[in-house]
Structure 1
Amino acid sequence: MDWGEGLFRELVEHSEDIHIVADKELTIRYVSSSVAKILGIEPVSLLGRNIREFIQREKFENLTTHLREGTGRFTHEFMLPGTGAQMVYFDVSASQLLDRQEFQGVIFKLNDVTEKKLREDELIRSNRQLDQVIYKTTHDLKAPVMSALGLVKIAEMVPDGEKDQYIGMIKKSLLRLDSFIEEMNDFYRNEKLAVQREKISIEQLLLEEWDNLKNLYPDNAVDVFWDIHADCEWHSDRLRVKTVVTNILSNAIKYMDLQKQNRFIKIAARVTEEFCDMSFEDNGIGIDPLYQEKIFDLFFRATDRSQGTGLGLFIVKDTLERLGGEVKVISNQGQGTTFHVRIPNQIHQSIGIG
C-alpha cells in the first residue's frame, strides 16, 4: 500500500459516510467499514457486485451523465442490502477516479439522510392531511349550520304550539355541529400534543364517557352491560384514551339497529401490568365485509347513515399508534360489531412517553 492509498483509507475509515470505489465497469472494489454501522452488513459482501444492481435505470442514466461531465451530485434512494426491510436514504456524490487523466473508476460518497428524509415525508403527509381535513370539514360543516338557520327562520313564523317541534330539530342540527367540532379537536390534539403519562381509572373514564354520550342520543334506548377488572394501576395518556373510547362508543350508538327491540352495548376492560384491554360489542347494523379494511381510512364512511366527517375511526387508529397500542374489529353485517383495543400499561415508566 502506497502513501496515497494509506491516506485515503485513513480518511474514509474515520468518516461517518460510506465510501465506495468502483472500477471503470462500475464493479465495486472497495467499501468503507462504516457500511456495517449504518446498514448492518459486512463490506466484503458488496465486493465484486455492480453499482447497477443498486440504482434504478433512470437514476443510473443520470449518474453516467454526471460522470461524463466530470463530477456529479444527486439525491437518490440508494438501495443496499441491509439486515432489515427499512429503506435507507443517501445523499450521493460521485466523482471520477483518474490516473494520468485516464478514467479508472468512480468514487461514491454516501451521506445518510434517512432521518431528514423521513421528517420531510412526515411533514408532506401532515400538510396533505391538513389540507384534506380543512376542505372536507368546511364543506361538511355548512350543512348543519344552514339547516339550523333555516329551521330558526321557520320557527319564527309558526304558532307557539308548533315551536317545540322545530326547536328539537334545531337541537339535532347543533348536536351534529358540536360532533364535527369535537372530531376536529381530537384530530388536532392527536397531531400536536405530546403523549402524556398519568394514572387512569379505567372504570371512571368509561362511566364518564358513557354518561356524556347517552345524553347526546336520548331517543336511542339501549341496554349497557359492564365487565371491568383492574388488577393493578394503569398509566397512559388520559386525553387520548378518552378520545379512543368516545369515538368507538359514539359509533356504537350512531349505528344501532333500530329494527331490533333488545339493543345492547357490552363494555369490557381488563388492566394488567402489561396492558389495558378493552372491548366494545354491540348488536347494531354491522359493517359490510367489503368495507371492513377501509373503516380506519381518512374520511371513509361505510354507510349512508353516517353523519360525521369520516374522521372518527381514523383518529382511533392514529391515536392508538401514538400510544403503542392497536385496534381490531370483528363485524357481521346485520348482527353487530366488536372493537378490541389494547393499550400498553406505562406504570413502570419513570418519565412521560412520546
Structure 2
Amino acid sequence: MKIDTIPATHTVSSTYEEEKRLNALKSYFILDTPPEEELDALTRLAAYICNCPVSLITLIDADRQWIKSKQGMDVTETVLEISFCKFTIKSDQMLEVFDATTDERFSSNPMVTGDPHIQYYCGMPLITPEGYRLGSLCVINYKPSQLNSQQKQALQILAGEVMARMELKKQKKQLELEKKRLAESENRYRQLIENIEGFIFTHDLNGVILSVNQKMAATLGYTQENLVGKNLQTILSEEVKCSCDAYLQQFNQTKVASGMMQIVTAHKQEMFWLYRNFKYQDERKQTYIICSAQDITEKELARQMLQQSKEELENIVQLRTSELINTNEVLEKTRAELDLFVYRASHDLLGPLCSLKGLLTIARLQQNQISDNEPDYVTLMWQTVNKLHQVLNGLLTYSNNTHFSLEYKPIDMEAVIKEEFLACQRIEGFNRVRLTTHIEAAQPFYSDEERIRIIFKSLFSNSITFQSNTVGEPAIHVSVNSSSEKAVFVIRDNGVGISKNAIPQVFNLFSKSASHSKGPGLGLFIVKEVLKKLDGQIEVESQEGKGTRFMIEIPNQFP
C-alpha cells in the first residue's frame, strides 16, 4: 500500500517535546468543551469538499484522542492506541491512507476490522504558531479513496482556519482571564487600602486631596467625601501650615519625600504622622502624589518626654559631675599631701630610728651585766623598734612605688632572685630555708628591676617568716618562664599556709595571713600595688599546714 506524504520510518517525539506539546494544547482551554457551530461548519464543509461521509476535528491528549467537532460519526473520544491522528501529528505534512486494510499500521485496528470499518483516512495536522501539532482536521471514508490536489489544498486551508479560530478563542480566553485577574487584583488592592492600619491618600501638585482610605478619614473624624477636594492645609496643624508650600515644591526636584507631619483632626486633636510620599504619572499623563503615613503620636510624645527627661538628667549629671570633680580635686590634693607626708616622715624617722637601733645593739652587748631576775627591757625595746623599722620601710617602699616612674631594662632574674633571698638573712629562721630555682627564658625579660626586687623580697620574707616547724626542711621553689609577651613567676613554699577565710583579704592593707603574725601587714599589699604599676596580676593558692603558692604574670616590655 502506498503512503502519500509521510515516511514509514518517522520517529516518535521525545518525552520533553511531548510535555511541551501537551502544555500548548492545554493553553487553548478547549478540551472537554461543548460543540461550537463555527467549528462544526468547517467539518461539514470539509466532508462536502472531500466527498467523504465523515469529517472530524481531533485533539491528541496524553492518553486519549478527543473529538471537538464531528460530521457523520457519533463519537466524542477514543483511546489513543486506535487513533489514526496520532500518526498525523508526527509531521507537519498531510497524512493520507488510501486503504487501511492493506496498511500494516492500521490493518489490525479495531476501527478497521470492525465497526465502523474505516478504509480511507486523510488528515491535516493542526499546527500552532509555535509549531506544536495539537491534532488534526481529517476526513474518513468506508471505501478506498484518494483526494485530488484541489481537495487536499482545500483541506489544508480549512485546517488553517480551524487553527485560526482556536487561536482567536485562546486569545479571547486569555484576555478574559487577565481581566478577571486584574479585577481581583484591583479588588484586593482596594480592600488592602481601605482596611490597612496605615493612612493612604493622594493629592495633586497643588496639595488638593484626591482620595483617602477609610482608615484615614475615620481617624481624622471626617468622611472620605468630606476630605476629597480639600487642601492639605485642612488637616495640618497651625505650626506646620507655613511649610506646606516647601513640601509641595520638593516634587519639582525629586520624586520621593519623607518625614514627619503634624496633623490636626476635626476635633482639634493633634497627631504626628510619619510619611513617605512619591510622585506618580499615570497612563493618561496625569501627575499626582501617592502618600502613605503611619500614626506615631504615642512614639513622638514618648520621644519628647524622653528628650525632656534626658535634658533634665544631663543637667543633674553635669551638676553632680562638677561636684565630683571638685571633691576629687580636694581628695587628690589631700592624697598628695598625705603621700608627701609619708615620704618625708619615713625619711625623717629612719635616721633617728637607725641611731636608736645602734644604741640598743650596744646595750644588748652589755646585757650580761643585768641580773637574770630583772626584766629584759632592752630586748623588748629592740623588738618594738625593729617592728617600727619594718613599718617605716614598708611605707617608704609604697611611697616610692607611687611617685617614681617606671624604668624598663633587661633583668637577670637568677641574680635578682638570689640577691633578694640573701637580703632576708636577718629574718629569724633564714638559715633553715633552702631555695631552689628553675628558669626558662625564651626571650630576655624587660621590666622595672627595682619593683621586681620589691615583689620577690616581700614574698621571700613571708615564706621565711611563716616557715613550718613540722617539716624536715623548709623550702622555697621559684620557677620563671619568660616569652616575648610576658613573664610568669611561681613562688611555692611548704610553710604553715593561709586559712581559706583569710585568702580573700590577704592583699588588703594591714592584713595578716596568720593570727600569730608579728609583721605590720604591709608586704602583700605593697606587692599588689607594685603589680598594678607593672600591669601585672597575682593569684594565690594555699592550704593550712601544706604551704602557699603565688603565681604572677607581668607583661614583657621587650622592645
For residues 195-222 of structure 1, give each alpha carbon's deviation from its aligned partner in whole angstroms, at most 9, with x where no partner exists. 1111111111111111222354455502
Distance change (3 Å), C-alpha of 1:185 and 1:154: closer
Whether 2:446 is the aligned partner of 1:223: answer no
Report percent identity of matched pairs: 21
CA distance in 1, matches of 2:360, 2:513: 29
- Which residue identity is paired with 1:284? G
The 5-angstrom pairing of residues 150-161 of structure 1 reads 156=366, 158-159=368-369
- Which residue identity is paired with 1:281? R
Whether 2:510 is the aligned partner of 1:267: answer no
* C-alpha contact (below 8 Å) 2:468/2:496 kept by paired residues: yes
CA distance in 2, matches of 1:303, 1:138: 31
CA distance in 2, matches of 1:237, 1:144: 28
TM-score (norm 2): 0.38
- Which residue identity is paired with 1:192? H
- Secondary structure (helix, strand or coil) at the match of 2:424 reads helix
Q: Which of 527, 534, 539 is the equivalent residue of 1:323?
A: 534
Alignment match, 2:519: 308
For residues 58-81 of structure 1, give each alpha carbon's deviation from its aligned partner in whole angstroms, at most 9, with x where no partner exists. x99xx7xxxxxxxxxx9634xxxx
For residues 164-197 of structure 1, give each alpha carbon's deviation from its aligned partner in whole angstroms, at most 9, with x where no partner exists. x999988766654543343232112101101111
- Secondary structure (helix, strand or coil) at the match of 1:338 reads strand
CA distance in 2, matches of 1:148, 1:75: 59
CA distance in 1, matches of 2:482, 2:413: 8
CA distance in 2, matches of 1:319, 1:153: 38
CA distance in 2, matches of 1:136, 1:334: 36
Distance change (3 Å), C-alpha of 1:167 and 1:218: farther
Alignment match, 2:425: 214
Q: Which of 390, 395, 398 is the equivalent residue of 1:187?
A: 398
The 5-angstrom pairing of residues 269-308 of structure 1 reads 269-308=480-519
Distance change (3 Å), C-alpha of 1:214 and 1:157: closer
The 5-angstrom pairing of residues 1-354 of structure 1 reads 48-49=305-306, 76-77=319-320, 89=321, 91=322, 121-124=331-334, 156=366, 158-159=368-369, 176=387, 178-217=389-428, 220-348=431-559
Distance change (3 Å), C-alpha of 1:54 and 1:137: farther
TM-aligned CA deviation for residue 264 of structure 1: 1.3
- Secondary structure (helix, strand or coil) at the match of 1:76 reads helix
* C-alpha contact (below 8 Å) 2:478/2:492 kept by paired residues: yes
Distance change (3 Å), C-alpha of 1:151 and 1:122: same
CA distance in 1, matches of 2:523, 2:453: 13
- Secondary structure (helix, strand or coil) at the match of 1:278 reads strand
* C-alpha contact (below 8 Å) 1:155/1:167 kept by paired residues: no
CA distance in 2, matches of 1:296, 1:143: 28
CA distance in 1, matches of 2:419, 2:364: 37
For residues 201-248 of structure 1, give each alpha carbon's deviation from its aligned partner in whole angstroms, at most 9, with x where no partner exists. 111111111122235445550222211111111111111111111111
CA distance in 1, matches of 2:411, 2:508: 29
For residues 96-140 of structure 1, give each alpha carbon's deviation from its aligned partner in whole angstroms, at most 9, with x where no partner exists. xxxxxxxxxxxxxxxxx97x876665555566678899999999x
TM-aligned CA deviation for residue 270 of structure 1: 0.9
Distance change (3 Å), C-alpha of 1:129 and 1:297: farther
Distance change (3 Å), C-alpha of 1:228 and 1:286: same
- Secondary structure (helix, strand or coil) at the match of 1:270 reads strand
TM-aligned CA deviation for residue 257 of structure 1: 1.1
TM-score (norm 1): 0.58
Question: What 5-or-longer segments of structure 1 have no aligned partner?
Answer: 2-44, 64-73, 78-88, 93-112, 349-354
CA distance in 2, matches of 1:138, 1:51: 59
Higher relative contact order (CA 8 A, sep 6+): 1
Distance change (3 Å), C-alpha of 1:119 and 1:317: farther
Number of corresponding residues: 255
* C-alpha contact (below 8 Å) 1:276/1:342 kept by paired residues: yes
Question: What 5-or-longer segments of structure 2 have no aligned partner?
Answer: 1-238, 240-301
- Secondary structure (helix, strand or coil) at the match of 2:437 reads strand
CA distance in 2, matches of 1:337, 1:289: 11
TM-aligned CA deviation for residue 158 of structure 1: 3.0
* C-alpha contact (below 8 Å) 2:435/2:476 kept by paired residues: yes
Distance change (3 Å), C-alpha of 1:154 and 1:245: closer
Once superposed, what is the RMSD of the aligned Cα atoms? 4.6
Distance change (3 Å), C-alpha of 1:344 and 1:237: same
* C-alpha contact (below 8 Å) 1:151/1:170 kept by paired residues: no
